[in-house]
Amino acid sequence: MKILQKFFGKKKNELEDKTKSFEAFKLINVANGLAVNYYMPLLHMFPTLTLIPDSGLLEDFDTLVTTASIGFVMTQLEYSYDVKETREYIFAINNEATKWNPDCSKLIIQFGRYINNLISENKIKDLDELSESLGAWVFIALYDNNPHNIELEEFANSRELFFVLGNMITNNFSNYWNK
């Protein structure tokens, strides 16, 4: 048996890979389902958000909120798993996210850079600041992707809106990996 392993390499535990893929699949679907459901409560609190569907940007909004949720959950991996499992989960999440939306992998990287920069600049010191940063990333990215839509600029500067959306994400996804 050891001779065959030398030629063909050690076989991966397919059940473990399928479990991680399934967990990643669940994460993407839960994040997207909640992202879609966040819009109506936000609209109730911030009626000017009708601009998002009126501008044809509701799908972009949902994608960005889903990505922020996924990114937030990914930041928790290292606290719940060892380095090897963390890498495997990141790989599985990236694969499933790309299947869901081909741009999601790129967006996750952008999100990660944004959050890491804020942390390194000591601008995120607690959960409230993290929540606000999550919401800010969504609306800043929405505006950056649609700079021709001047009305979006109002949302790109609304700290209260950032905080409310970010709280929705952190309330639903804090301790995601703790079962």
Q: What is the pLDDT of residue 179?
A: 58
Cβ-proximal residues to 159 (8 Å cutoff; 6+ apart), any chain: 132, 136
pLDDT in tens, 42-52: 999 999 999 99
pTM, 2 dp: 0.88
CA dist list (Å): 161 to 16, 111, 141, 166: 40, 18, 14, 8
Q: Write out residues in the chain with pLDDT < 50, as ranges.
A: 1-11
Cβ-proximal residues to 94 (8 Å cutoff; 6+ apart), any chain: 105, 108
CA dist list (Å): 109 to 64, 90, 154: 12, 12, 25
Give the whole-number percent of the chain exceeding pLDDT 90: 77
